[in-house]
Structure 1
Amino acid sequence: MVITKSRLVLGATAVTLSTIAVISLGIHSRGQALFKASPKELVDEVWQTIDRQYVDGTFNQLDWPAVRKEYLSKSYSNPQEAYKSIREMLKKLQDPYTRFMDPEEFKNMQVDTSGELIGIGITISQDEKTKQLVVIAPIEDTPAFKAGVLAKDIILKIDGKDTKGMDSNQAVSLIRGQAGTQVSLTIGRDGQTKEFNIKRARIAIHAVKFSQKQTPAGNLGYIRLNQFSANAGQEMQTAIKNLETKRVAGYILDLRGNPGGLLFSSVDIARMWIDKGKIVSTVERQGEGEKEEANGRALTNKPLVVLVDKGSASASEILSGALQDNKRATLVGTQTFGKGLVQSVRPLEDGSGLAVTIAHYYTPSGRDINHKGIEPDVKVDLTKAQIEELWLHGREKLATLADPQFAKAVEVIGKQITAKATPTAEK
């Protein structure tokens, strides 16, 4: 398996609303199909793809050949009937990250990874144990973020419709809509139920925001990375180069609430911070793996602290895991989301698409963080009141000394800057 920019590599699977699985490995471009498959041929194409690529050769203890026989014995009079059967077939795998997208959903996914979307701006996933729809994170400055939706919120209802038994794609179809229209979400949070009426909008996602900050630790560069979109690498490069001209003494990289995105983007960005060492490795069904390493072209070697929380998922975990394992950065905050699977996203003959879990990824030290997440080096828990104050009511306090996690990052990096500036005593 080769990870290149020509393949859509997403860091952990989720669905950005309106649309998308945010973490995968590989849109394999096949050009314009010469013909559209019949509904039954489409069902078989999906089955064959799973049969060849799925990460678990036992198909999660499922008799996969029997599934093929069951669904090819049916008659299909239109694509919609085939789509329904495909979703039923994939549901038997009990893997919420292997999923089918109809042509409209697939088209939207491709648009979303370019850094634009129409929707409310949340990334969701189906919990593998409870099967509930869970918010990985709201994307900053989107309608959902401004309305007060938080990471780990449970979506109980969409416009009054119970989400029990609903998969991510079905939820996307209900939440997505025309810009300017409203959608109602019933959210479960800490045992309480909350109602949100959110207006959909066209969203231009700016992956990177940066600024120079004067702190007790000195002149620091602050970079907030919101999503690993196709343009995130270029924006990160611009941010680092700009801050280097300002002679910052160190950096704070904020990955809090970053739900992930393209895998190649996380690798590119890791190379901007790590000069030598492994970044990530992936292992497929046959045990074959691919390793990505630094290329000796880091843009800075100055002290680095990374902020993470439970909304830091997938590609965020690839980056933070690489920085932690290479001892390039100190992680501050709380345990990350815990998504260590890789999906391959490919087009099908009729314009629809399929995301297939094809590999596990591991940090440079060999850690499998799936379901576990990454523990920060310095843990700074926030109370429920602090989270709501910072992310809902007092956003002007984010990345200031009134933000407890940022304040700790400043303290940590201050010690590192001092240690680096102190000459080592001769022995």
Structure 2
Amino acid sequence: MKQSAKRYSPLQVALIGGAIATTATVSVFGPGWCRSVRAALQDSPKQVVDQVWQLVNREYVDGSFNRQNWLTIRQSLLSRNYSSREEAYTAIREALQKLGDPYTRFMDPKQFEALTNQTSGEVSGIGIRMEVNENSKRLVVVEALENSPAIKAGIKPGDEIVAIDGKSTRQMKIEDASKLIRGRAGTMVTLRLEREGHSAFDLKLTRATIEVPTVRYALKQEGRRRVGYIRLREFNAHAADQMRRAIRDLNGKQVDGFVLDLRGNPGGLLQASIEIARMWIDNGPIVRTVDRRGGSDESKANHTALTNRPLVVLVDNNSASASEILTGALKDNKRAIVVGSQTFGKALVQSVHELGDGSGVAITIAHYYTPKGTDINHKGITPDIKLDLTEEQQRQLASNPDLLGTNKDPQYTRALNILSNNQFAQPLQNQTTQKANSFGADNLRL
């Protein structure tokens, strides 16, 4: 698979849901094509059915189609008359289920739009994070995002949102409030806020397109060491740029080492994972993909690493897909020591296509292997130092994410131990196995 970093876009979609994630490539059907045929296909659901069949027929990684007669399936699909798009969508889903691949799936227009919006790493709104205060049960601003309309208007953490465009937020769910606040860039929304020491006031804001932070980082003074802690939540279209800024900023602060936190990261864009790997690895292979014809494509580091400082990577059993590509590259090249739980185990690559009526389909097109040729599918990556959290520890960190990367976080403190002991000359390849409890993979996940 050949991909240009300039080409990946919202069409190169990730995240099937939860820990099930895709690593996606670019669609062969461009936006221009879709616009030109959308009107024609609007009332022809059978053509959308055939479009999906043709894409799977051309691209699907298993040429036997899970031992299904794919031509017979096409004949069956096209022999029916579909009275609505919903009927056609049901038929498509039933056909794709026969492939036995949860990552090859159909999305209706709303699902496809949600997926592409998430992968773009952008939202249209005012740029705030909210929560419902446990005590007051009121909607409270947690953070105003950098360069957002909210921060420019002076919204502060702790501000209570009592109304949105005149609609009271009392007993309103976060999801419902988000729907009211988000909207097309350039449109207006009015918030009524209450702030400690001030009477309630109205604030009119103009919505804008905002880059969502997927990288969060901090300089931590841990004893005599200056540690750069970086948490990457997903590999969206802005992840590489945000990671680059984080590493450069922490380099400027003279860190002694880094902790890269990939726990709970479900994956995302293939090209983003390759770009980020190149920021840490100066020379060596990153990942190899193989299509159904046996065609192989290997991505390598290109002497553009931003740092050679010691690195520890934190993973768990929800670190999947693109997270595993990055982890596998760092581990196999002995660039980092990996700490945590066995990773999810997804070694398949999807191509995501927009269809003529605004729906979409994700198709598994390749299998990937780590630099040492390891197939991690359904197995995951075994950390160099296996440290499973207890159920209580997982629950505590999940309910209070601010504890991640602190001394209340056992996996982070183990990473600090490694940095302090300079265990980087010879990474501890599967030498040390530590368990904080006896819970297995079905335990509550972070």
Are residues 326 and 21 of structure 1, via their aligned partners in 2, closer, same or farther at CA, if it must alter by over 3 Å? closer
SS of residue in 2 equivalent to 1:380: strand
- Higher mean alpha-carbon deviation, 345-354 vs 7-16, is at 7-16
**C-alpha distance in 1, partners of 2:51/2:59?**
12
1:272 corresponds in structure 2 to 279
Cα deviations across residues 404-425 of structure 1 (Å, max 9, x unaligned)? 10010001112227979xxxxx
Are the equivalent residues in 2 in contact too, given 1:13–1:343 (CA < 8 A)? no
- Higher mean alpha-carbon deviation, 232-241 vs 104-113, is at 104-113
2:220 corresponds in structure 1 to 213
SS of residue in 1 equivalent to 2:221: strand
**C-alpha distance in 2, partners of 1:109/1:181?**
30
Alignment of 1:89 with 2:91, yes or no, is no
Alignment of 1:344 with 2:346, yes or no, is no
Deviation at 1:15, TM superposition (A): 2.9
Alignment of 1:42 with 2:48, yes or no, is yes
Cα deviations across residues 218-239 of structure 1 (Å, max 9, x unaligned)? 1111111111111111111110
Cα deviations across residues 132-182 of structure 1 (Å, max 9, x unaligned)? xxxxxxxxx8879x9xxxxxxxxxxxxxxxxxxxxxxxxxxxxxxxxx899
1:115 corresponds in structure 2 to 121
Deviation at 1:268, TM superposition (A): 0.6
Cα deviations across residues 72-106 of structure 1 (Å, max 9, x unaligned)? 11012332221121111111212111111122222
2:236 corresponds in structure 1 to 229
Match of 1:58 among 46, 54, 64: 64
2:324 corresponds in structure 1 to 317
Deviation at 1:7, TM superposition (A): 3.9
**C-alpha distance in 1, partners of 2:170/2:364?**
34
**C-alpha distance in 2, partners of 1:338/1:62?**
26
SS of residue in 2 equivalent to 1:305: strand
After TM superposition, the structure 1 = structure 2 runs for residues 14-33 of structure 1, keeping only pairs within 5 Å, are 14-15=16-17, 22-30=22-30, 31-33=32-34
SS of residue in 1 equivalent to 2:120: coil
- Which runs of structure 1 show a deviation greater than 6 angstroms over 4 or more consecutive aligned residues? 9-12, 141-144, 180-183, 417-420
Tell which structure's C-alpha radius of gyration is larger.
Answer: 2
Match of 1:377 among 384, 387, 406: 384
The TM-score normalised by the length of structure 1 is: 0.75
**C-alpha distance in 2, partners of 1:108/1:419?**
45
Are the equivalent residues in 2 in contact too, given 1:15–1:22 (CA < 8 A)? no
2:2 corresponds in structure 1 to 2
SS of residue in 1 equivalent to 2:227: strand
**C-alpha distance in 2, partners of 1:419/1:57?**
44
**C-alpha distance in 2, partners of 1:416/1:258?**
27
**C-alpha distance in 1, partners of 2:114/2:402?**
32
Deviation at 1:205, TM superposition (A): 3.7
Are the equivalent residues in 1 in contact too, given 2:45–2:85 (CA < 8 A)? yes
**C-alpha distance in 2, partners of 1:182/1:102?**
31
**C-alpha distance in 2, partners of 1:303/1:76?**
59
Are the equivalent residues in 1 in contact too, given 2:287–2:299 (CA < 8 A)? yes
**C-alpha distance in 2, partners of 1:306/1:417?**
13
Cα deviations across residues 26-45 of structure 1 (Å, max 9, x unaligned)? 23352143223322122111
**C-alpha distance in 1, partners of 2:123/2:367?**
28
Q: Structure 1 unaligned segments of length 5 or more: list them.
A: 119-140, 147-179, 184-196, 421-427
Q: Structure 2 unaligned segments of length 5 or more: list them.
A: 135-168, 183-210, 427-446
Are residues 330 and 288 of structure 1, via their aligned partners in 2, closer, same or farther at CA, if it must alter by over 3 Å? same
1:331 corresponds in structure 2 to 338
Amino acid across the alignment from 1:82: A
Amino acid across the alignment from 1:2: K
Alignment RMSD: 2.8
2:420 corresponds in structure 1 to 414
Match of 2:294 among 287, 294, 300: 287
Are the equivalent residues in 2 in contact too, given 1:401–1:407 (CA < 8 A)? yes
Deviation at 1:373, TM superposition (A): 0.6
The TM-score normalised by the length of structure 2 is: 0.72
**C-alpha distance in 1, partners of 2:57/2:370?**
27
1:424 corresponds in structure 2 to none
SS of residue in 1 equivalent to 2:364: strand
Aligned length: 348
SS of residue in 2 equivalent to 1:244: helix
**C-alpha distance in 1, partners of 2:358/2:104?**
17
Are the equivalent residues in 2 in contact too, given 1:278–1:294 (CA < 8 A)? yes
Deviation at 1:117, TM superposition (A): 5.9
Q: Percent identity?
A: 50
Are the equivalent residues in 2 in contact too, given 1:216–1:410 (CA < 8 A)? no
Deviation at 1:299, TM superposition (A): 0.2
Are residues 71 and 314 of structure 1, via their aligned partners in 2, closer, same or farther at CA, if it must alter by over 3 Å? same
SS of residue in 2 equivalent to 1:15: coil
Are residues 372 and 117 of structure 1, via their aligned partners in 2, closer, same or farther at CA, if it must alter by over 3 Å? farther
Amino acid across the alignment from 1:14: I
